[in-house]
Amino acid sequence: MSIDIRNIGISAHVDAGKTTLAERILFYAGRIRTIRDVKGGDGGAHMDHDPLETDMGITIDAAATTVRWRDTDVHVVDTPGHVDFTVEVERALRVLDGAILVLSAVAGVQAQTHTVGRQMDRYDVPCVAFINKCDLAGADPALVVEQMRTALDLPAVLVQWPLGLEHDHRGIIDLLTEESVTFEGSENERVTRARTELSPGARAAREALLEAVAEHDEDLLEALLDGGPLDLERVRAVLAHATHLRQLVPVFVGAARQNLGVQPLLDGVVDYLPRPEQRRVVATDPETEALHEVRGDVDGAVLAYAFKLQETDFGSLTWLRVYRGILRPGVALVDVRTGRKQRPRRLSRLDAGETLPVAEARPGEIVAVSGLDVASGTTLSDPDHRLVIGELHVPEPVVQRALRLVDGGPDRLGRGLSRMVREDPTLRVVTNGETGETVLHGMGELHLEVIAHRLRERFGVQVVLGEPSVAERQALTKATSFDYVFKRQSGGPGLYARVVGTVEPATSFEFDWTVVGGAIPTEFRAAVARGFRTALAEAEPEVVGAHVVITDGSTHPNDSSDRAFELAARMAFREVLAKAEPNRLEPWMRVVAEAPDEWQGALIQSLTKRRGRVLEAEPGRVEAEVPLSRMFGYATALRSATSGAGTFSMVFDRFDTAV
Ligand code: GDP
pLDDT, tens digit, 9 for 90 and up, residues 45-67: 544 444 444 433 333 343 577 88
Q: Is 550 left (phi over 0), alpha (psi -120 to 50) or beta?
A: beta
Confidence of residue 78 (pLDDT cuts 50, 70, 90): low
Task: Determine the average pLDDT of the residues in 75-89.
Answer: 61
Q: Which atom of ligand 1 is nearest to the CA of 260?
A: 23
In this predicted structure, the answer to whether residue 194 has a pLDDT above a threshold of 90 is: yes
Residue type, 201: G
Nearest CA to ligand 1 atom 19: 17
Write out the E strands in 562-620.
583-594, 613-618
Instruction: Please give the distance, rounded to the nearest whole angstrom, from the Cα atom of residue 257 to the centre of ligand 1.
Output: 6
Distance CA(606)–CA(590), nearest Å, equals 14
**117/480: higher pLDDT:** 480
- Closest atom of ligand 1 relative to the 16 alpha carbon: 3
Give me the amino acid identity at 330: G
C-alpha 583 – ligand 1 centre gap (Å): 47
pLDDT of res. 41 = 39
CA proximity to 20, closest of 37, 33, 34, 8: 37
Q: Which pLDDT does position 89 carry in this prediction?
A: 62
Q: What is the pLDDT of residues 8-45, one digit of tens each?
A: 988 887 788 888 998 899 889 887 777 765 444 344 45
DSSP 8-state symbol, 260: B
447 or 315: which carries more pLDDT confidence?
A: 447
pLDDT surpassing 60 at residue 193? yes
The pLDDT of residue 50 is 46
Q: β-pairing, 366-369 with 388-389?
A: unpaired
Q: Could you tell me if 632 and 650 are in contact, meaning their C-beta atoms sit under 8 angstroms apart?
A: no
Residue of 557, 611, 566, 609 whose CA lies nearest to 588: 611
The pLDDT of residue 349 is 80
- Which letter does DSSP use for residue 261 in this model? S
**381-404 burial by CB neighbour count: b if 16+ within 10 A, else e?**
bbeeebbbbeebeeeebbbbbbbe
Q: Check pLDDT > 90 for residue 528.
A: yes
pLDDT at position 83 is: 46
Q: How far is the CA of 85 from the centre of ligand 1 (A)?
A: 20
State which H helix or E strand residue 655 sits in: strand 647-657
| CA pair distance 355, 622, nearest whole angstrom | 45
CA-nearest of 340, 348, 346 to 386 is 340
260 CA from centroid of ligand 1 (Å): 13
Least confident of 171-185, 246-260, 339-353, 538-552: 339-353
Per the model's pLDDT, the better-predicted residue between 343 and 340 turns out to be 343
Q: pLDDT digits over 476-513, tens only?
A: 999 999 999 999 877 677 899 999 999 999 888 889 99
Ligand 1 atom nearest to CA at 132: 23
- Nearest residue CA, atom 10 of ligand 1? 15
pLDDT of 127 > 60? The answer is yes
Looking from the CA of residue 21, the nearest atom of ligand 1 is 7
CA gap 160, 176 in Å, rounded: 8
Distance of CA 445 from the midpoint of ligand 1 (Å): 25
Q: Which atom in ligand 1 lies closest to the alpha carbon of residue 37?
A: 16
- Min mean pLDDT across 79-88, 340-349, 463-472, 515-524 is at 79-88
Average pLDDT of the segment spanning 622-644: 88
Residue in 38, 46, 43, 82 with CA at minimum distance from that of residue 63: 46
Name the average pLDDT for the chain: 86
Q: Which residues pair with 255 in a beta bridge?
A: 260
- The pLDDT assigned to 111 comes to 72
Q: Whose CA is nearest to atom 9 of ligand 1?
A: 17
Q: Are 101 and 110 in contact (CB under 8 A)?
A: no
Residue range 169-174: mean pLDDT, rounded: 96
In sequence order, the 6+-apart residues with CB closer than 8 A to the CB of 80 are 58, 59, 60, 61, 62, 86, 88, 89
User: What CA–CA distance (Å, rounded) separates 445 from 467?
Assistant: 9
Specify the pLDDT at position 142.
95
Question: Measuring from atom 22 of ligand 1, which residue has the nearest CA?
Answer: 133
pLDDT 10s digits, 360-374: 999 998 888 999 988
Ligand 1: atom nearest CA of 12 is: 3
What residue owns the CA closest to ligand 1's atom 2? 15
pLDDT in tens, 537-582: 888 888 989 999 999 999 998 888 999 999 999 999 999 998 888 9
Q: Whose CA is nearest to atom 11 of ligand 1?
A: 15
Whether 456 contacts 463, CB under 8 Å: yes
Distance 351 CA to ligand 1 centre (A): 21
DSSP 8-class letter at 451: H
Return the ligand 1 atom nearest residue 57 CA.
8
Give all strands (DSSP E) within 370-472, no chain letters.
378-381, 388-389, 399-407, 428-431, 438-442, 462-465, 469-470
> String of b and e for 597-633 (b: at least 16 CB within 10 Å)?
eebbebbbebbeebebeeeeeeebbbbbbbbbbbbbe
Predicted confidence at residue 268, as pLDDT, reads 97
* 183 CA distance to ligand 1 middle (Å): 19
Answer yes or no: is pLDDT of 462 > 70.
yes
CA 133 to ligand 1 centroid distance, Å: 7
Our mutation pick for probing the ligand 1 site, out of 38, 130, 131, 167, counting the most ligand atoms within 8 A of Cβ, is 38
The span from the CA of 11 to the CA of 13, in Å, is 7
Ligand 1 centre and the CA of 192: distance in Å?
A: 25
**What pLDDT is stored for residue 633 in this prediction?**
82
The pLDDT of residue 652: 80
Question: If you write DSSP's letter for every residue of 123-191 in order, what string do you get?
Answer: TT--EEEEEE-TTSTT--HHHHHHHHHHHS---EEESEEEES-GGG--EEEETTTTEEEEEESTTS-EE
Contact 159, 232 (CB under 8 A): no
Using 50, 70 and 90 to split pLDDT, how confident is the model at 313?
A: low
Measure 255 CA to ligand 1 centroid, in angstroms: 9
Residue 109 pLDDT: 85
Q: Which of 19, 20, 50 to mutate to test the pocket of ligand 1 (most atoms within 8 A of CB)?
A: 20
What is the pLDDT at residue 42?
42
568 φ, ψ (degrees, to nearest 5):
-60, -45
Q: What single letter denotes the amino acid at residue 638?
A: L
> Could you give the percent of the chain with pLDDT greater than 90?
48
Ligand 1 center–CA 593 separation, angstroms = 22
Let me know: does 181 contact 171? Beta carbons within 8 Å.
yes
More confident residue, 450 or 162: 162
Q: Is the pTM of this model over 0.75?
A: no
Mean pLDDT over 386-414 rounds to 82
Indicate the top mutation candidate among 47, 257, 259, 649 to test ligand 1's pocket, ranked by most ligand atoms within 8 A of CB: 257
The H or E element that residue 658 is part of is none
- Which residues have a Cβ under 8 Å from the Cβ of 640 and sit 6 or more positions away? none
Name every residue whose Cβ is closer than 8 Å to that of residue 500 and which is 6 or more positions away in sequence. 481, 482, 483, 484, 550, 551, 552, 553
Q: Which range (190-194, 418-422, 532-536, 561-565) has the least confidence? A: 418-422
Rounded to the nearest angstrom, the distance between the alpha carbon of 16 and the centre of ligand 1 is 6
Report the pLDDT value the prediction gives residue 312, as an integer from 0 to 100: 67
Instruction: Give the rounded distance of the alpha carbon of 309 from its chain centre.
Output: 14
Residue 2 identity (one-letter amino acid): S
Mean pLDDT, residues 387-397: 70
CA of 639 to the centre of ligand 1 (A): 20
Q: How far apart are CA 133 and CA 131, in angstroms?
A: 7
Helix (H) or strand (E) holding 565: helix 562-579
What is the DSSP annotation of 486-550? EEE-SSSS-EEEEEEEEEEE-SSEEEEE---TTSS-GGGHHHHHHHHHHHHHHSSSPB--EEEEE
Which has the minimum average pLDDT: 167-171, 200-204, 296-300, 413-417? Answer: 296-300
Please list every protein residue whose CB sits less than 6 Å from any atom of ligand 1: 12, 14-20, 37-39, 59, 81, 132-133, 135-136, 255-258
Element (H, E) at 303: strand 303-312
